[in-house]
A and B are shown apart, each in its own frame.
Chain A
Amino acid sequence: MTRPVRYALRLVSLAVALGLWQLLTSRDIDVWLRFSQFPTVTDVARTFADRLAGPDYWTDLTDSLTRILSGFLLAAVLGVATGVLVARSRLAEDLLGPVLEVVRPIPAIALVPVAILLFPSNEQGIVFITCAAAFFPVLVSTRHAVRALAPVWEEAVRTMGGGRWRVLGSVVLPGALPGVFGGLSVGIGVSWICVISAEMISGQYGVGYRTWQDYTVVDYPGVFVGMVTIGALGWLTSTTVELLGRRLTHWLPRTSYVPTAARPKPARAAGAAVSPAGAAVPEDTRAQPEEARDEHLVRD
């Protein structure tokens, strides 16, 4: 499938969802699920346009983004550092392991009281909760990724005379990167959940705060504007993480990267269909140039 076709399909997916929503709400359909009270797409769009024109929307947006980015980046750094430490050092594992394992099951949003007690301002409390949410997925996946590294890579660097830091920089960090990005992808998702929830509970400004305000004054289109904003921002940030991850781990062997069109099929495919053993023939002829080249290089 070509690129434009795939993008078109993605647009169609969104358009169909919106169309269905508009249809159900504008016809006031009530079949057990009650869409009559639901704002229509056009209502939401109108409110959205109004909000975009006002100053509050953008303040909310930048506030939420600042909170999530600071919390998430902090979590990424701390999570990777702690994960590597715990995976590489038995002492660190014994010292930090039990504390981390006890704190890990506590949902980050349940840390709101702790945040209120600990931090002088709401702002720092929200960043703390966001950070706590993303920290554990990053920590756990980093720990696993570091433990799963092939020992030969480390041994190779050590027999080159490389020390601890060289092994860390040349083997551990790059080798663990695919796993770390798995954790970051999960982390950015949980971060959004927590930043929005924390804003709803204790925020001043922010998309979560605004959405909850709209709900308390029964402004349903406003609530939906908030939800759409959260969805779009979440998508934006996780796509950024995803793309960054793909770029940094471009070295991973990926089958999907092999262009399927490059496979030679013409003339020979007809011959293969005739002879029963034909399937093996193109395989051999394709392998030959490589081997021939090998030998040639060895001889001279």
Chain B
Amino acid sequence: MSTSSATETRTTGGSGASPRGTRLTLRGATLGRPDAAAVSDVDLDVAPGEILTVVGPSGCGKSTLLRTLAGLLPPLAGTAEQDGHPIEGPGADRALVFQEDALLPWRTLRANVELPLAVQGLPRTERRSQATAWLERVGLAAQAGQLPHRVSGGQRQRAQLARALAGRPRAVLMDEPFGALDAQTRTGMQNLLVEVLRGTGATVVFVTHDVDEALFLGDRVALLGAGRATAVRAVPRPRDRTAYGDPAHVALRRDVLTSLGT
């Protein structure tokens, strides 16, 4: 596994050398719970280090897709692979970020961020310094000792982001992480995400129902609707706020909206 090499790079600190991203592939996959398939016949290939956003109306199976990639749900048919090997269960190299309230409420923000490091068996002092570094990166140095319910929703999501990245995963799977935030906080969080991802090299699958968010963050956008993956489109000038008026961007946005409307 890659954990040993990842541990070496990790010791260099918060923004040290990065582990390589991983390739995630779904082939002819039917996803869902055994009694209720949510999406069928999905073919998806996420390249190492790319940010793929998945957009679709609520209830279209976006979360199911992420849970399958995380290894929490086995595909009902077809295969889910990581670097060509079937995904057999959850693992530390594929971190999951949830919509809300996934921080353990009895742990302080710092202790929450320390958790993946504790799972990996790092010594206490090492855990503490890395967690502190990550909390600083997401701007929560002052709140490190607070319990999750004592801080705002935006701060909780930043802590969750820090927790996911602290484990140095090779893929980060994000399930509408900013869905419950107000528009202003949300924009800030998107900028923060872009910034903290820079240099990690991690593959990102980011699920959202917000088309603009999907087009801002994604190198490519996958459309999900009516129980199927309908298309994957490359985004011109991703992670560039000024691309908003770009004709190619406008055309893509219109396309995405119409295909989701039907």
Contacts and interface: CB of A to CB of B under 8 A. Distances in A.
A33 interface: no
Interface string B125-159: 00000000000000100000001010010110000
Contacts of A150: 101
Contacts of A19: none
Nearest to B191: A298
Contacts of B94: 159
B95 A160 contact: yes
Contacts of A156: 96, 98, 102, 104, 163
Q: What bracket does the count of chain B residues touching chain A fall in?
A: 35 or more
Interface stretch (A4-12, A166-174, A227-235, A265-273): A166-174
Contact of B184 (A152, A162, A166, A291): A291
Interface string B145-189: 001010010110000000100010000010000000000110011
Interface residues of A, number: 29
B59 interface: no
Interface in B96-123: 96, 98, 101-102, 104-107, 115-116, 119-120
Contacts of B93: 161
Contacts of B71: 159
Given A161-B90, A175-B106, A290 B152 contact: yes
A175 B98 CA distance: 18
A297 B91 contact: no
A166 B119 contact: yes
Contacts of B115: 157, 160, 170
A158 B106 contact: no
Interface in A259-300: 290-291, 294-295, 297-300
Most chain B Cβ neighbours within 10 Å, of A251, A253, A291: A251
A290 B149 CA distance: 15
A58 interface: no
Contacts of A295: 184, 188
A158 B90 contact: yes
B106 A174 contact: yes
B232 interface: no
A215 interface: no
B234 interface: no
A65 B89 CA distance: 50
21 contacts: A153-B102, A155-B67, A155-B98, A156-B102, A157-B115, A158-B72, A159-B71, A159-B92, A159-B95, A159-B173, A160-B95, A161-B92, A174-B106, A175-B104, A175-B106, A251-B107, A252-B105, A294-B152, A294-B155, A295-B188, A298-B192
Give the 3 A-B CB pairs with smallest separation, nearest first.
A161-B92, A297-B139, A298-B188
Given A156-B98, A290-B152, 17 more contacts: A155-B70, A158-B72, A158-B89, A158-B90, A159-B90, A159-B91, A160-B116, A161-B91, A161-B116, A170-B115, A291-B184, A291-B185, A294-B185, A298-B189, A299-B188, A299-B191, A300-B139
